[in-house]
Amino acid sequence: MAKFQAIKGTYDVMPADAPAWQHVESVIRARARAFGFREIRTPEFEDTALFVKGTGEATDIVQKEMYTFTDKGGRSLTLRPEGTPPVIRALIEHGALKESPCVKVFYLAPMFRYERPQAGRLRQHTQFGAEIVGAESPLADAEVIALLFTTLQRLGLSDLTLRLNSVGCPACRPAYRDKLVAHFRPKLETLCGNCRERIDRNPLRILDCKADRDKVQDAPAAVDSLCPSCAAHFERVKSLLEALAVPYALDKTLVRGLDYYTRTAFEVASPHLGAQDALGGGGRYDGLVEQLGGDPAPGVGFGAGLERFLLAIRNQGVPVPAGQRLDVYIAALGMAATVKGAELSGALRGKGYSCEQDLQGRSLKAQLREANKLNARYVLVIGDDELAKGSASLKDMDTHGQREVPFAELANNIEAYCECSCQG
C-alpha cells in the first residue's frame, strides 16, 4: 500500500475520469448561461462567524461538521461548508445589491464538511449552486428550480423526483410549530430517541425522521398553516413550475436542514443513488441578507453535488462523451527523425492541431500501438527512408490508408492531406 493516500473523504480525479467531469461542467455552464446566471467565485475559507450566523448556530453543519482552524494571526477561519453565506457576503461587501435590485449568480466550487464518508458523501465535494437575490417573485423560485431540474435532464438523468414544500415565514411558522408540538407531545413515547430531543430543539425536523415515516403522515402539514401571503406565493410557484414544464411532487415532510430557509423548500432526488439520494436541494431565504448585515432582501437558491451527478450518471448507464481525440501522432525512428518530428509537430501545433510524439524511443510497432491507444486520427511515420526522401509517411488510422507527403508541404498545408475532421 502506498505510503501516502488521499485523506479520508477526498479523492483524485484521474485523467481517465476528467472527460466526464468536463462534460458535466460544460452542461452546467451552458444551462446557467441559458437562464442568465453569471458566475461568482468566492474564497475557499471564510470567517467562521459567517457560517455560525448565516448557516445557523443550531445546524449540524455548524455544530459538528465544520473544518475550523486558527491562522497565525489568531483568526478563526472555516473551510466553506456550503455556498450560500459566502455568496451573500460577497454581494453585500461589493454593494452588488445597491448597484442592481436583483442579482442572479451561480458557482461551481468545493465544499468541506467533516462527516463519515459513505456512498455519495465526501468530506470535500463539489457543488453547483445558484442564487437569485433581490426577487420576491415566485418566478424566482420557479426559475431556480427549473435551472437545477433541466440541468439534470440535460445530463441525461431520468427518473428524477422533485419534492416541493413550503415551510412558511416568520409570520406563520411559529403557529405551525406550536401545532406540530401539540400533535407530537402526547405521542412522545412512540417517537424515536432523536425525535424526542427534536421536539424541543427543532420540531419541524421530526417530519424528516426516517425511522418513523408512518407516524409522521398524519401530522399537521405546514402547507395547511401558511399565512395568506405565503399560501399565495406557494400557489404561484406551483403554477409557474407547470408553465416551465417542471414536474413536482408535493412533500409535506420535506424540511431542509438549514436555519435560514423560508417559504419554498425543494429537493431533487434520483433512485440511482444510494441512501443519500438527493442530487440537490434548496429553498427561499428571505431573511438571510439582513441577517448577514445587508439591507433586507429576499433570496432563493440551491446547492447540488457534482459527485452525485457523476454517480447517478454512471449508475444509470448514461453515456458520457469521450475526450477529444488526438489529431496527429508522430512516430519517429532514430534521433535524426526525432528532430525532424519535433520540427513538424511544432508547425502542426502552430496551426492548431493537437500533436504528440513518442518520448520513449520505442519500436515503430510500439509507437503505433500507442497512437491507437490515444485514438489518434493520423500518424506521421518518420524514419531513415523518409529522411532520405524528404517526406513523411502519413497514415490514416481510421482508413488504414497511407501516403507520402513532402516535409515542406506537410508543415504548410496539412489540411490538404487530412481531408478531415482535424480542426485547424
Partner RNA sequence: GUGGAUAUAGCUCAAUUGGUCAGAGCGCUGGACUGUGGCUCCGGAGGUUGCGGGUUCGAGUCCCGUUAUCCACCCCA
Contact, 97 vs 295, CB < 8 A? yes
Taking CB under 7 A as the criterion, the residue among 152, 303, 327, 410 binding RNA is 303
Do residues 280 and 302 touch, judged by C-beta distance below 8 A?
yes
* Interface pick for RNA out of 131, 143, 307, 327 (rule CB under 7 A): 307
What's the rounded Cα separation, in Å, for the pair 204 and 198? 8
The residue type of 53 is K
Site string for RNA, 12-51 (x = CB under 7 A): ----------------------------------------
In contact, 333 and 382? CB cutoff 8 Å: yes
| Cβ 125 vs Cβ 309: under 8 Å | no
Near RNA in 364-403, by CB under 7 A = 364-366, 368-373, 379, 381, 383-386, 393, 395, 397-398, 400, 402
Binding test (CB under 7 A) with RNA, winner from 26, 70, 100, 118: 118
User: Residue 252, SS3?
Assistant: coil
- The Cβ of residue 151 has, within 10 Å, a number of other Cβ atoms equal to 27
Q: Which CB atom, from 11 or from 227, has the smaller least distance to RNA? A: 11
Of 360, 372, 367, the C-alpha closest to 325 is: 372
Q: Which amino acid is at 17?
A: D
**C-alpha–C-alpha distance, residues 282 and 292, integer Å:** 19
What is the 3-class SS of 313-364, one letter each residue? HHHHCCCCCCCCCCCEEEEECCHHHHHHHHHHHHHHHHCCCCEEECCCCCCH
Query: What is the Cα–Cα distance from 200 to 103, expressed in whole angstroms?
Result: 37
Question: Residue 11 is placed in which grid cell?
Answer: 479523492
Between 82 and 141, name the residue whose CB sits nearer to RNA. Answer: 82
Shortest CB 100 distance to RNA, Å = 26
The smaller minimum CB distance to RNA, of residues 217 and 239, is found at 217
Task: Say how many C-beta atoms besides its own lie within 10 A of residue 36's C-beta.
Answer: 10
Q: Is 274 in the site for RNA (CB under 7 A)?
A: yes
Q: Is 333 in the site for RNA (CB under 7 A)?
A: yes
Q: Which one among 85, 168, 203, 280 touches RNA, defined by CB under 7 A?
A: 280
Residue from 76, 324, 363, 413 touching RNA (CB under 7 A): that is 363
By CB under 7 A, tell whether 210 contacts RNA: yes
Residue of the chain from 177, 215, 351, 362 that contacts RNA (CB under 7 A) = 362
Q: Does 205 bind RNA (CB under 7 A)?
A: yes
Backbone angles phi, psi at 337, to 5 degrees: -70, -35
Q: Give the residue, chosen from 117, 346, 350, 352, that forms a contact with RNA under the rule CB under 7 A.
A: 117
List 54, 120, 168, 287, residue binding RNA (CB under 7 A):
120
* C-alpha radius of gyration, the chain, whole number: 28
Query: With CB under 7 A, what is the number of residues at the site for RNA?
Result: 71
Task: Decide: is 135 part of the binding site for RNA (CB under 7 A).
Answer: no
Min dist. Cβ of residue 155 to RNA (A): 14
| CB closer to RNA, 236 vs 362 | 362
Residue 262 interacts with RNA (CB under 7 A)? Answer: no
> Does the protein bind RNA through residue 158 (CB under 7 A)?
no
For residue 161, state whether it binds RNA (rule: CB under 7 A). no
